[in-house]
Amino acid sequence: MKKDKRWERIPGCSIEAALNVIGGKWKGVFLFHLLDGTMRYNEFSKLAVGASPRLIVKQLRELEEDGLIERKVYAVVPPKVEYSLTSEGKSLKPILKSLSGWGDQWIDKRPWTLNE
Amino acid sequence: MKKDKRWERIPGCSIEAALNVIGGKWKGVFLFHLLDGTMRYNEFSKLAVGASPRLIVKQLRELEEDGLIERKVYAVVPPKVEYSLTSEGKSLKPILKSLSGWGDQWIDKRPWTLNE
DNA sequence: CGGCATCCAAGTAGATACTG
DNA sequence: CAGTATCTACTTGGATGCCG
């Protein structure tokens, strides 16, 4: 977590504060899928193709530190951990939906294509 | 620009495609301020306190490559360059506003404070 | 004014192996 | 299952100086 002093006085900083929270490499995807309900570590790892456990955990921990998701550990064997959105996290719903919609459109319109 | 192959099949990838575009260190701020009209390089540098010219230019170039902003060079002395949003860039307006609003709220609610 | 080139430091992500 | 540890590679960003 970067508690960067500069957010204090830059005009438009709230934009960056927001992006700082959801802009991590997989955070948007994780949050988006959490809109549909609780997820387990294993599901995230299937989602984040190519990402190492290290990174997945890091993204999840940061979201947790930011109070957007909750991590619930069950004392069972085998271990079970569930991640879910907090109310703060749920407040991102309209934004995540908008981003998803815009991204979808943009993939078609963007000036470059994959495999070029 | 990273034309990352993985966007092709990951569910929720449109979220990341969108974040990939606006998630750069200063891109959100730049885009947000461009909503109010054209900006010049000098204005960006005042906005991005502590950022090196190198980074500022890089962010602007990437936004340009992504077709979100337009760079207009006037052949005058001293040089004058104006940046403005393309129609694609303008389509981000509701999202940028939402992000700004959410970020504003979140700055008050977030679990940590500055200068801690 | 509005950059670019070069070099270097630091942070970030990946690979791999291992564990409670 | 749900991670941790370690080590390495890569990317990103800052500093500085120069140019049209």
pLDDT, tens digit (0-9, with 9 covering 90-100), for A52-95: 999 999 999 999 999 999 999 999 999 999 999 999 999 999 99
Q: What is the dihedral of CA A58, A59, A62, A67, to 10 degrees?
A: -140
The predicted pLDDT at position B10 comes to 52
CA at B24, C1' at D14: how many angstroms apart? 17
CA angle A58, B52, B86 (to 5 degrees): 85
Higher model confidence: residue B15 or residue A11? B15
CA distances for A32 relative to A20, A38, A91, B13, B66, angstroms: 16, 11, 12, 10, 23
Q: Which residue stretches of chain A are H helix?
A: 13-22, 27-34, 41-47, 53-65, 87-90, 93-109
CB contact under 8 A, A67 and B109: yes
- CB neighbours of A52 closer than 8 A, spacing ≥ 6? none
Distance, C-alpha A82 to centroid of its chain: 15
Q: Is B112 on the interface with A (CB under 8 A)?
A: yes
CA angle B94, B57, B71 (to 5 degrees): 65
Lowest model confidence (mean pLDDT) among A42-46, A102-106, B110-114: B110-114
Euclidean distance between CA atoms A100 and B18, whole angstroms = 7
CA at A13, C1' at D3: how many angstroms apart? 35
Confirm whether any atom of chain C, the nucleic acid strand, is less than 7 Å from CB of B41: yes
| pTM assigned to the model | 0.89
List bases, strand C, within 7 Å of protein CB: 1-6, 12-17, 20
CA at A85, C1' at C5: how many angstroms apart? 46
Domains and CATH numbers, chain A: 14-108 (1.10.10.10)
Euclidean distance between CA atoms A92 and A67, whole angstroms = 12
Confirm whether any atom of chain C, the nucleic acid strand, is less than 7 Å from CB of B6: no
Q: Residue A61: which nucleotide is closest by CA–C1'? A: D3
Euclidean distance between CA atoms A53 and A50, whole angstroms = 9
pLDDT, tens digit (0-9, with 9 covering 90-100), for B70-83: 999 999 999 999 99
Residues 71-90 of B with CB under 8 A from A: 88
**What integer is the mean pLDDT of A5-14?**
56
The predicted pLDDT at position A6 comes to 44
pLDDT for residue B4 is more than 70: no
